[in-house]
Amino acid sequence: MKHYIIGIDTSAYTTSIAIVDEQTKKILYDKRKVLLVPTGQKGLRQQEAVFQHLQNFNELYNNINIDFSEVKTVSVSSRPRNVEGSYMPVFTVGQNYGKIIAKTLNAEYVEYSHQENHIAASLIENDNYKHLNENILAIHISGGTTEFLSVKKSNIGYESEIIGGSKDITFGQLIDRIGTEMGFNFPCGLYMEKHIENDLDIKSDNSTISNIKLPKISGETFINLSGMENYYKNLLNTNKYNNKTIINSLFKYISTCIVEIINKLNLNYSFNSIIIAGGVASNNIIRNDVNNMLKQNYNVIFPAKENSSDNAVGVAYMPIIDRWYHEIKTY
């Protein structure tokens, strides 16, 4: 008999549903819909996001074409983090739909955090979850989060402790705020990356990245980024550098920040593997720079590019990971 798992994630900017066959581990359905942000606006209020999730969920769910009698588990991202008191209204949409679906199908209902969803989505390639249970540094970098987490497998899901990150705005917010100043649509990261990728003008232009002197990175595990927002806005206002050069510099700065925080954390922690996930981690320029700087010393794991940004694949896999973890192993 088949055993399907429905995964649901309703995050700050994406409605996601995924279905996985537990026996074959095959992804049967994976659909996402990014919430619409009005032109010139830098984000959505929670009530606006909740309203769009309600509309998007019905659309995505109605497009599922499986035998629902085979659904045995409904797995939901119900909160941002796996800590007491963690809450965002957007996640209640997926939580409530998940409970109704599970009740209707007489299926098991389980909850995880949005961050556990990202961790799981990073470990499904090559069954990495079977090899990484302790000494993991998970870096979650997105529009809403810049956190460096000490992670280990727990009885259900993953335990995590925040040991680094930003104290004010996030890397994603920094990118979006500079991007909207340049006139890109929100969220801006993908448009900014496309604007400069494979562009030789950056290398030939007199206003190269090497001419932009960046303020020194603090060298701490928790940093402030709002100063960098002002710095790059000032660069734009000087008209001394073109947009492509500033974007390239911004991406290089973020890559350098990530590596410097990791090196600082390494003084007090011992990590065997580093997971880097979240929407910002889907940026090819940033992930390539970070990987090149770290691969000599660490086992660096990026999720598949499509699973770096918000998705429901990870939370659909979490019951599989938990069940494997509790099986009696014979080697």
Q: Are 146 and 168 in contact (CB under 8 A)?
A: no
- Residue 147 is assigned to a structural domain of this protein: no
| Residue range 41-47: mean pLDDT, rounded | 88
Tell me: pLDDT of 203 over 50. Answer: no
Tally of structural domains, the chain: 2
Q: Are 153 and 138 in contact (CB under 8 A)?
A: no
- Residue 256 is assigned to a structural domain of this protein: yes
| Residue range 267-281: mean pLDDT, rounded | 93
Tell me: pLDDT of 34 over 90. Answer: yes
Please tell me whether residues 128 and 180 are part of one structural domain. Answer: no
Please tell me whether residues 296 and 312 are part of one structural domain. Answer: no
Q: What tens digit of pLDDT does each residue of 220-258 get?
A: 999 999 999 999 999 999 999 999 999 999 999 999 999
Please tell me whether residues 223 and 187 are part of one structural domain. Answer: yes
What's this model's pTM, rounded to 2 decimal places?
A: 0.90
Please tell me whether residues 98 and 220 are part of one structural domain. Answer: no
Q: Read off the pLDDT band of 199 (50, 70, 90).
A: low
Between CA 238 and CA 244 the distance in angstroms is 15
Q: What tens digit of pLDDT does each residue of 100-157 get?
A: 999 999 999 999 999 999 999 999 988 889 988 788 999 999 988 999 999 999 999 9
The mean predicted confidence, pLDDT, of the chain is 92
- Residue 142 is assigned to a structural domain of this protein: no
- Residue 230 is assigned to a structural domain of this protein: yes
Q: What tens digit of pLDDT does each residue of 285-299 get?
A: 999 999 999 999 999
- Smallest CA-to-CA distance from 206 within 241, 246, 239, 250 is with 241
- Residue 153 is assigned to a structural domain of this protein: no
Give the CATH number for residue 245.
3.30.420.40
- Residue 266 is assigned to a structural domain of this protein: yes
- Residue 155 is assigned to a structural domain of this protein: no
Please tell me whether residues 296 and 310 are part of one structural domain. Answer: no
Domain that holds residue 178: 166-301
Beta strands in the chain (DSSP E): 4-10, 14-21, 27-34, 71-79, 108-113, 136-141, 146-153, 158-166, 222-223, 273-277, 299-301
Please tell me whether residues 9 and 122 are part of one structural domain. Answer: yes
Please tell me whether residues 8 and 32 are part of one structural domain. Answer: yes
pLDDT of residue 125: 87
Please tell me whether residues 313 and 199 are part of one structural domain. Answer: no
Please tell me whether residues 99 and 183 are part of one structural domain. Answer: no
- Residue 146 is assigned to a structural domain of this protein: no
Please tell me whether residues 241 and 116 are part of one structural domain. Answer: no
pLDDT of residue 20: 98
Q: Are 167 and 224 in contact (CB under 8 A)?
A: yes
What DSSP character marks residue 283? -
Please tell me whether residues 128 and 53 are part of one structural domain. Answer: yes
Please tell me whether residues 313 and 220 are part of one structural domain. Answer: no
